């Protein structure tokens, strides 16, 4: 099979996932309201944007302001929107603490591996659920989803026992496997929905052209499902990045990730080092924020693909 033997799938409206176009409509409407010729519409639109933006960004601003405030003024009354005294002490102590970079490194390793593993497994599972028909398929789909119904804390009991028995406690493997346990069901369903939007005719055409099943998946289906794969990967990454209780319980001191690491470092029995905690939170959230900015269009289209099927 050669690439020229295949139809130019992405260019056809019928073969393209419909979600991205649909998702962009409200955005276009909002943009046109901001540029409306009627002043009242323009004003209302701008007020709405400012209010919504302020609502979303105020916590981030407060986090930044607290990180720059001396510790004895963090709870000053009345609260000050703009700190009267600014200090970089929190950032200085942050960069002087090498342990935090160990936590950061652990978070990156665990989250990236979780994302890759989740996408790898869920892509094949999702494709199977979407494109094959076999006895027990539907039951299996719901069985996969059923693991989401249990409280995570309850599954920790079982996972702790299993990892302890196999000597996996305090390893990256324990964290990746436990995170994947929770990311896999949603990733599978998300990708199943995405694969549903890819026409069977396209796959049949590849088969007619002589592509094997695996070749069809790897060369035709997965490239078309790239937004879904990115969305599933981001979801899994964020799940691994944010987890607290599993990382605290299964990782041990050497493999601890940022959430328990920051709590361990800055939250004490009697007091919390708020400026340092805020500074650390701000710094360590930057990689995720940048990743989201770069990939957000895939995330939106990937998350909504299954929802607009048909």
Q: Kindly list the residues in this chain that would bind another protein in the complex (CB under 8 A).
A: 71-77, 152-154, 156-158, 160-161, 164, 169, 245, 248-249, 253, 260, 263-273
Q: How far is the CB of 54 from another protein (least distance, A)?
A: 24
Q: How far is the CB of 72 from another protein (least distance, A)?
A: 5
Q: Which of 170/219 has CB closer to another protein?
A: 170
Q: How far is the CB of 120 from another protein (least distance, A)?
A: 28
Q: How far is the CB of 288 from another protein (least distance, A)?
A: 22
Q: Which of 79/136 has CB closer to another protein?
A: 79
Q: How far is the CB of 151 from another protein (least distance, A)?
A: 8
Q: How far is the CB of 161 from another protein (least distance, A)?
A: 4
Token pair for residue 47?
A: 């007020």
Is the separation of the CB atoms in 220 and 203 below 8 Å? Answer: yes
Q: Which of 51/267 has CB closer to another protein?
A: 267
Q: Which of 124/160 has CB closer to another protein?
A: 160
Q: How far is the CB of 273 from another protein (least distance, A)?
A: 6
Q: Which of 107/130 has CB closer to another protein?
A: 107
Q: Which of 178/216 has CB closer to another protein?
A: 178
Count other C-beta atoms under 10 Å from residue 145's C-beta: 13
State how far the Cα of 113 lies from the Cα of 172, in Å rounded to an integer: 9
Torsion of CA 273, 278, 283, 284, to 10 degrees: 80
Angle at 240 between CA 237 and CA 242, to 5 degrees: 105
Q: Which of 195/274 has CB closer to another protein?
A: 274
């Amino acid at each position: 099979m050669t690439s020229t033997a295949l139809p130019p799938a992405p260019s056809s409206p019928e073969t393209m996932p419909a979600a991205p176009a649909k998702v962009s409509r409200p955005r276009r409407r909002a943009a046109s309201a901001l540029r409306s010729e009627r002043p009242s519409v323009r004003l209302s639109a701008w007020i709405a944007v400012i209010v919504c933006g302020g609502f979303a960004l105020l916590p981030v601003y407060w986090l930044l302001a607290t990180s720059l405030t001396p510790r004895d003024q963090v709870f000053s009354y009345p609260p000050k929107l703009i700190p009267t005294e600014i200090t970089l002490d929190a950032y200085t102590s942050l960069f002087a603490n090498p342990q935090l970079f160990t936590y950061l490194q652990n978070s990156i390793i665990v989250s990236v591996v979780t994302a890759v593993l989740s996408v790898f497994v869920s892509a094949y599972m999702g494709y199977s659920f979407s494109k094959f028909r076999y006895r027990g398929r539907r039951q299996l789909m719901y069985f996969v989803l059923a693991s989401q119904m249990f409280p995570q804390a309850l599954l920790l009991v079982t996972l702790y026992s299993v990892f302890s028995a196999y000597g996996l406690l305090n390893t990256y493997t324990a964290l990746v496997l436990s995170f994947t346990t929770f990311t896999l069901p949603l990733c599978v369903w998300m990708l199943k929905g995405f694969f549903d939007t890819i026409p069977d005719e396209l796959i049949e055409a590849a088969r007619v052209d002589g592509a094997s099943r695996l070749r069809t998946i790897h060369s035709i289906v997965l490239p078309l499902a790239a937004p879904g794969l990115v969305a599933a990967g981001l979801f899994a990454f964020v799940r691994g990045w944010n987890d607290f209780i599993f990382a605290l319980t299964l990782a041990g001191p050497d493999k601890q990730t940022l959430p328990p690491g920051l709590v361990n470092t800055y939250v004490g029995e009697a007091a919390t080092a708020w400026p340092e905690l805020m500074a650390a939170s701000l710094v360590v959230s930057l990689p995720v924020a940048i990743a989201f900015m770069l990939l957000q269009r895939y995330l939106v289209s990937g998350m909504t693909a299954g929802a607009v099927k048909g």
